[in-house]
């Protein structure tokens, strides 16, 4: 392990900083050391979901690691060569299978042959994008960039029981730049509904009553999908909509002691923020498109808010790849480019639209 290390402070970022670093380390062959992992979270350090991502990444590229253990706040990752193959990973809790997959997928796209990955854990987690978001919003745009990926939900998995299972088939692909800036068109709702498992269907009906009232949708056009008891107690409300050729999914996961109406309100509020902005994509989708754009070497999108995830993600990307990340505040009075360290200071800027542009750095 004699490689020079990229040093990353993970204090201000969540698991996204770690996942981005793992993906780019595998792809670029650059080793890194991260300290202060999830330092400002209520439970700092590696949880099982993060540890699974580290160990899975290490298996796929034959990496050597230090500190890869539960609750660790510092790790080293020394990558080897990416290997295609058939892989199976178990998180062991209801931690997000989606986030583990997003860590591995960019590297597997650059493997020498096709790969199959199965991951067990949570598929619908309050702190992560649900399966529907990945399948209907994120993956279509990644495929537009050239990725050849098939994703199947084999079992649902909710918090706290987990037990979900996904399978992804990934074929070698080269990513092309993506440009998404057509957010001024009106949005169209494609579908909206509720899913329940192991809880009364009446909870889903209350959520749909709320969706109907707030979105002005006929109640008879909305339905509850009941999984019975097969996946343990769980609930999700989702709104799928399109705007300017982009599909977005706004989902809210039901939790204990949170009223059904409040669960529905979360999805509606996020959908409304997107529709009332001039942004092409929502805040979460913007964050999760940054890594593929960086790997492609260029791209542009607009979003309604610069989250801390976006800012810390931009900083980590530029430690691994020679790409300039330009964050610009878009206003009717004129545009303002936000330069580091200004865009990394955690401020929320008073605007309903920002652009994220990536260009290859000059040699």
**Residue 50 annotated in active site:** no
Known binding positions: 102
Known binding positions for ATP: 102
Distance CA 36, CA 18 (A): 11
Query: 136, 191 in Cβ contact below 8 A?
Result: no
Query: Which tokens is 192 given?
Result: 């909206």
Sequence-ordered strand ranges (E) for the chain: 5-9, 31-35, 64-66, 75-78, 86-90, 115-121, 148-155, 164-171, 178-180, 188-197, 224-226, 234-243, 246-253, 299-303, 323-329, 336-338, 354-360
Query: Which tokens is 199 given?
Result: 């809880």
The answer for residues whose C-beta is within 8 angstroms of residue 238's C-beta and 6 or more apart is 130, 132, 191, 192, 193, 194, 195, 249, 250, 251, 252, 267
The one catalytic residue in 50, 78, 156, 309 is 309
Sequence-ordered strand ranges (E) for 207-320: 224-226, 234-243, 246-253, 299-303
**Known catalytic residues?**
309
């Amino acid at each position: 392990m004699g490689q020079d290390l990229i040093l990353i402070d993970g204090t201000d970022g969540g698991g996204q900083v770690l996942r981005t670093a793992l993906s780019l380390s595998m792809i670029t062959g650059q080793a890194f050391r991260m300290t202060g992992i999830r330092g400002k979270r209520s439970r700092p350090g590696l949880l099982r979901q993060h540890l699974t991502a580290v160990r899975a990444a290490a298996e796929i590229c034959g990496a050597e690691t230090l500190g890869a253990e539960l609750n660790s706040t510092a790790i080293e990752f020394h990558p080897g060569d990416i290997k295609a193959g058939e892989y199976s990973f178990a998180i062991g809790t209801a931690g997000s299978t989606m986030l583990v997959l997003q860590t591995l997928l960019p590297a597997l796209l650059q493997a020498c042959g096709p790969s199959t990955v199965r991951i067990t854990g949570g598929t619908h987690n309050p702190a992560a994008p649900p399966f529907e978001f990945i399948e209907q919003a994120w993956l279509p745009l990644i495929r537009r960039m050239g990725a050849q990926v098939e994703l199947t939900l084999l079992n649902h998995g909710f918090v706290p029981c987990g037990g979900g299972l996904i399978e992804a088939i990934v074929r070698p692909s080269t990513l092309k730049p993506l440009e998404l800036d057509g957010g001024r068109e009106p949005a169209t709702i494609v579908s909206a509904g509720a899913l329940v498992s192991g809880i009364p269907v009446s909870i889903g009906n209350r959520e749909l009553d709320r969706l109907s009232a707030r979105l002005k949708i006929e109640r008879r056009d909305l339905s509850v999908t009941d999984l019975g008891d097969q996946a343990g107690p769980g609930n999700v409300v989702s709104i799928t909509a399109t705007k300017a050729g982009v599909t977005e999914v706004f989902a809210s996961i039901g939790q204990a002691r949170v009223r059904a109406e409040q669960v529905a309100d979360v999805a509606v509020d996020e959908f409304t923020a997107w529709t009332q902005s001039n942004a092409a994509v929502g805040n979460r989708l913007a964050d999760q498109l940054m890594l593929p754009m960086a790997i492609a070497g260029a791209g542009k999108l607009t979003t309604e808010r610069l989250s801390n995830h976006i800012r810390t993600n931009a900083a980590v990307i530029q430690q691994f790849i020679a790409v300039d990340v330009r964050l610009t505040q878009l206003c009717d009075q004129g545009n303002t480019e936000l330069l580091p360290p200004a865009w990394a200071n955690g401020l929320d800027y008073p605007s309903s639209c920002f652009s994220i542009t990536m260009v290859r750095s000059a040699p």
